[in-house]
Structure 1
């Protein structure tokens, strides 16, 4: 008989050796338990934070980067088990944080402990922290911390929550925070559990948290809002620098012009991604300005940051930020007044943040003592899309004598009324020249420009596939992987039967898709795989901004009714070969039901950045059957951004292709694989991959003089006719270059040099709805 302590009960570790300490009966009273096996993140107990830089991921087996992260989970100690981890390779950057938070726990809980297992292997491991959060308006309290390389094994941690929460006795959440150290810095957690003394609070909303209650439909109807005048507006009209309401209520919560006198912080908010806070206060006091800037009075208000202590480094930085603005004008500027009078006050910076994180450099930065007076600074923003402004105070940590104070924040000329001459890096200009959109969203099947120009004249990129053609694998050059471990074919369809719980239409509504078929005899068992691979792609440098986009459908009636194992999984891998060795690494995965519903229209969009892949690669889609009889995993409309296959110009202006097996098109816009030369399909926009190809004339008899003469004459006539035809076609193509759309996704293609001007691959004149050459140069800069 083996004796164990009560703290080891139901912690997902087989401490007794016969799993009697992990029995369902004993563990039913334990809360917050999650092994990430059948229901992913355990959404009843755990959730991703919304204000961090990126999210935790569910993983199975090894992570996508070699030599970092676990090879197995802790629950099953096999490559088939699941765990949570932070992916620290591109586009993540050192210092970025991902947070996972719990349900709200009663502050009066006694004998309440948290147990979990963590894994920290890699040369660039950052940090793993655990916090108590009592309010979203205050700093969380760090109660546990580890940093650096810990080795390739799972380690156990236990925290007495009742003890660390005893000073306040107020309700709290547990927050796991992973911080990126570098490329080889994947940090993982698994098998989280709490003891029975941890009581779930009846109020599952901490102060300052965003409301999770669905809004009731107001007088304007669901999804719409009302101005004081009764005028109605939609969510897309918020945070666009256009005051649709006369009372400006459509912009007030976004983080707008603010003097801090009457409206608090005017929608500006502290970021939960850092622990220190900006505070609205009156002027005066030790280390603060004697008067504000707006009223020039001691009674005036301002916003300021000064640390209470210099002992904790994580409390020396504060972020004040807006909500996400949809777009801005070319002449948009941001004005602020700042006051920094102490010698060791630190650094004030203004950053622009997108969904990819902060820009590489701040738009404005100043350090140290600047004088005993208010100073104005204008910060250029320019034409941007989907961005927020972040004001960062980074204290020196040498003393607490000085504060960084701000007043009279203002956006100037930011409403995009005028024509935008160019967009920022990785953004594209819509044809109406009034909006910028992220280039990863161009030609993805969804209109992001108000005029729809981001979905017009889309170029065909190798790897794109809509699965609409009968010979989809041949046209798209996709390869089904049929072997001993993946021997189930994908089946093409426009709809599936009710019994299979699959989609009623494809993603576009009028085409076809592929799904994991059970038509083969050995493809009805749980875990049976269907795998398909894209054509091979060239390496992608870290700054290439290459993305894959696709749509998937995963919904099963039995899974929705509680049988979590009924639905299968969809995994996306990178398959690449480097230095004679071949590897496959997990890029993306979804398990169980994903949206959808009885209407069977729940197509979901997925996108993944592919920058920084050092060798030729292909993308593999692998669908695994679940345990239910109606499991369907469907895929549709796979596309790559053109930058995934763009070659680079050489010193003399000619094109340098990424692989020795590729040839440059005559127009120097793209490359194609040498095996596609003269294969009957146009892969170059100018058709040069199919020009000058040999013809195959029938053989001429040795003694047939007449036949030989006829062949010679016929050849001469044919050559003349061919030249004339090519000239005519060239004129026609030139005339129609802005009229004929490019057929994408492996459909029948015509020889044309049309492309989407938002990709900056053409030199169209601005009057034609595209970009001028000069504007392209500004965009690329």
Structure 2
């Protein structure tokens, strides 16, 4: 085992920085000589801003630069293989892909809203942006909230936050630490949701300069570097009882959640005037990107929302625009963008002249792929527009995202339906995580009114007991009412089964899957995959929505064509008659011709 210890002092611009690099231990693993920290990583750390360097940690050894702030010692280091901890932490670390260690919050004796805090050593004041990067794992049917904060004295500022399950996968989190005018500390704060889910972190590191633009912004911690300038501006605000703002946000579904808000009331934004919200700079992608956000509007005439893409030469291209109508539900909007250079996107709200109105957006994501069709998802990258319900009045547990090859305490199918392999992904519920009468809801995005649209999906159920009650139900959710339209009842299947259901609704609605546990003997899993929604076409392939209007339109066109052809026929006959009459008159009538008949219709019998 090799130990390296360094003490470095740097001076620059009148400021002295000191770093103490803790011993870096390189360990030979499985005869592969896999280093806990590569020389390239070490070189990068040496070049990093020194006042945050000491808090980098991969948890392969004890991190003395971080501490807990209470005696409960809920933050623990583990490898994920210890049986008592399997359902509290990830089953594999991020650094060494299952052979190393990470830090997690133990939820075995969770006490409700107990905040478990992990605090860095005191940091010196800084004069430049620094990017703090880490990896997090939030997985299970009952996960709470993980936040990153900065503390100066008694003052705390929220920098980054995530809530609920994010699937059985390590995901990168990062946040720019802005210049601090005095000593400060960074804090990881976890609020566990229950005892069946984990909150884990790994590979904390610091890189000089500001972080790149975030691919997802919920506006819960801050504005994610979105900017708005001018006399009238977009605002980041939380919900409430005000008559002219969203009651709840989309992310948390609470009055405490935040959105980006444009007040388009005529007293604030006169008719025709614009209010701009500009994103940070994004890097180019050859394959294109999918811009996705959730939208809510209110007022008799909320105005117009337009999205522009602005390239390197500040040339703007309109990629989406719509005149808003009042809609107090959160609706999902997707826009495909193809651009070969660095770019920004701009939300432009234009006043519509209403006395009281607004346009609000939330949960903006930029994903490097083509946008999926409405309601459809193969779950290979993420759950698309499908979302776990956060309202405790409706459900108590979450559906989760996993693949058969990824180590997991919660069990699902060995293979998915899309690929038919252990690498493919699906959504599932492990019934051992449910108590009797517990339910887990999964809701789609909003669908428009339909006279018949086909919903296709595949499901797989493996329960130890023959089913008596429906453990998986499909329902239509409209006007806050649940209408069950299908259920897997009285049978089970260890193979993927396909279902086609025609859905009808006279109002806007959502479709939901509900996993139910009716007794303690139901042990196993429920899984779904490859959901496809065909708007306006039923499961027999018949076009339903707009069929009457299309037929009428075709009939009108047909009548018009027939009328034109008839008129043209009469016109041609008239011209022929006139020309022949002129020829006959020239040969046999009038002062220059002989008397005779206009023999236009005579036919010689011989």
Normalising by structure 2, what TM-score?
A: 0.32
Larger of the two Rg values belongs to structure: 2
Normalising by structure 1, what TM-score?
A: 0.26
